[in-house]
Amino acid sequence: MSNLGRVEDLPKDYYDGLVSRNTLPLWPALRAMLPHGIPARRTQPVMWRYQDVRPDLIKAGELAPIEKAERRVLVLCNPGLGLQNMQATASIYIGLQLILPGETAPNHKHTPSAVRFVIEGSGGFTVVGGERLPMEKGDLILTPPGLWHEHGHEGQGPVIWMDALDLPLIYGIDASYSTESKGSQELVKQEGDCNQRFRQGGVIPYSSLDQKKSAYPLLRFPWKEVRASLHALAEVTPKNQLVQLAYVNPETGQECLATLGFSAIYLRPGEQVSLPRRSASAVLHVVQGQGQATVDDAEHSFGDADTLAIPTHARSTLRNTSTREPVYLFMVDDAPLHRKLGIYEVFE
């Protein structure tokens, strides 16, 4: 119960009058909206198991023709936030998307930022801002706000990826909308618009030093290179210390999207690490391996392609339960948003 007063303590006709004039007293609600010490966290530390979701997604391949659906997606909804709100955390949307051989998901652009992280299959591709980007398992592909994007699949068997968007945030500020394209952008690609000159961080085209910076110079981060960099970082990182790489804009060294951050984590066989307790929320996706995650009081075992929501301010530890095999994780968080808002905190 609030110590600032209750609605029931007010004369009923006074309260009803306030409501009739579209006003409310702050004091009965203040503590709920501004709790002491730690936010009121509705986000639950939920685990979505790939072996549970995958059959439903494959079934959606039969039930939802791509021509009608545009995007064939099952959304990972956090029950603490209300399933219908389609939030994995308060700011992060996560969906699993299926595309079948020969299908195309039509060209559009929108205000929310999106990324794809490829889970299975090969032969899929996405075209972003006129660049055709192959989608192989573990690749991260950016779809920044306002860039046209469409997907296709020229291989065999299903291709499945994880979509992560800042949709809850952008929808929450009444800023979410899309624009449909009349045609495929491969036809409207312009000479000079192409960012394929950027291959990786650290070494960039010399001429870019003297040019106006592109907001999104690198759109595809191949897993092969990220994994090799994780192993190289592990060589110089003491056991049981976090081996974690940030995906960044190679021109600025800063986060590659404005609101969401992305990182890759390597847990060596048998290793246990704590994640720093932070103000940001996160979603952890298992690229490969078996382990155990503890988030506040919840304990979850995890395996390939499972996905876990981590609320703001949570204490979490991760353990690779195999004595032989690596664990690789992909993390999406809203730390860039927190940093820009001046509310980013790391505790302890």
Instruction: Compute the least distance from the CB of residue 178 to ligand 1HN, in Å.
Output: 7
Q: Smaller CB distance to ligand 1HN: residue 25 or 101?
A: 101
Instruction: Compute the least distance from the CB of residue 67 to ligand 1HN, in Å.
Output: 15
Binding mask 27-66 for ligand 1HN (x = CB under 6 A): ----------------------------------------
Phi, psi (rounded to 5 degrees) for 83: -55, -40
One of 54, 87, 95, 113 touching ligand 1HN (CB under 6 A): 95
Binding of ligand 1HN by 149 (CB under 6 A): yes
Which conformational region is residue 228 in: left (phi greater than 0), alpha (psi within -120 to 50 degrees), or beta?
Answer: alpha
Phi, psi (rounded to 5 degrees) for 94: -130, 130
Instruction: Compute the least distance from the CB of residue 266 to ligand 1HN, in Å.
Output: 28
Site for ligand 1HN in 62-81 (CB under 6 A): 71, 73
Q: Which two tokens stand for residue 94?
A: 């996560």
Total binding residues toward ligand 1HN, as defined by CB under 6 A: 13
> Please, which residues have CB within 8 angstroms of residue 322's CB and are 6 or more apart in sequence?
269, 270, 289, 290, 291
> Please, which residues have CB within 8 angstroms of residue 81's CB and are 6 or more apart in sequence?
42, 43, 87, 89, 90
Instruction: Compute the least distance from the CB of residue 215 to ligand 1HN, in Å.
Output: 19
One of 94, 118, 119, 165 touching ligand 1HN (CB under 6 A): 165
Residue ranges in the chain assigned as alpha helix (H): 12-20, 30-33, 50-63, 66-69, 167-172, 223-235, 335-341
Mapping DSSP to helix (H, G, I), strand (E, B) and coil, where does residue 4 land? coil
> Please, which residues have CB within 8 angstroms of residue 13's CB and are 6 or more apart in sequence?
none
Residue span binding ligand 1HN (CB under 6 A) among the ranges 162-170, 188-196, 274-282, 315-323: 162-170
One of 110, 137, 227, 268 touching ligand 1HN (CB under 6 A): 110
Site for ligand 1HN in 196-215 (CB under 6 A): none
Binding of ligand 1HN by 167 (CB under 6 A): yes
- Alpha-carbon distance 312 to 57, whole Å? 29
β-bridge partners, 255: 248
Number of C-alpha atoms within 13 angstroms, CB side, residue 267? Answer: 28
Q: Smaller CB distance to ligand 1HN: residue 75 or 233?
A: 75
β-bridge partners, 169: none
Q: Are 247 and 140 in contact (CB under 8 A)?
A: yes
Binding of ligand 1HN by 277 (CB under 6 A): no
Residue span binding ligand 1HN (CB under 6 A) among the ranges 39-47, 110-118, 193-201, 288-296: 110-118
Instruction: Compute the least distance from the CB of residue 28 to ligand 1HN, in Å.
Output: 36
- Alpha-carbon distance 61 to 314, whole Å? 36
Binding of ligand 1HN by 114 (CB under 6 A): yes
Residue span binding ligand 1HN (CB under 6 A) among the ranges 30-38, 53-61, 109-117, 229-237: 109-117
Instruction: Compute the least distance from the CB of residue 94 to ligand 1HN, in Å.
Output: 10
Q: Which two tokens stand for residue 236?
A: 């110089």
Binding of ligand 1HN by 142 (CB under 6 A): no
Q: Smaller CB distance to ligand 1HN: residue 98 or 318?
A: 98
Residue span binding ligand 1HN (CB under 6 A) among the ranges 129-137, 163-171, 275-283, 320-328: 163-171
3-state helix, strand, coil in the chain (%, to 5): 20, 30, 45
Instruction: Compute the least distance from the CB of residue 147 to ligand 1HN, in Å.
Output: 10
- Alpha-carbon distance 284 to 17, whole Å? 47
Instruction: Give residues in contact with ligand 1HN (CB under 6 A).
Output: 71, 73, 95, 97, 105, 110, 112, 114, 149, 151, 163, 165, 167
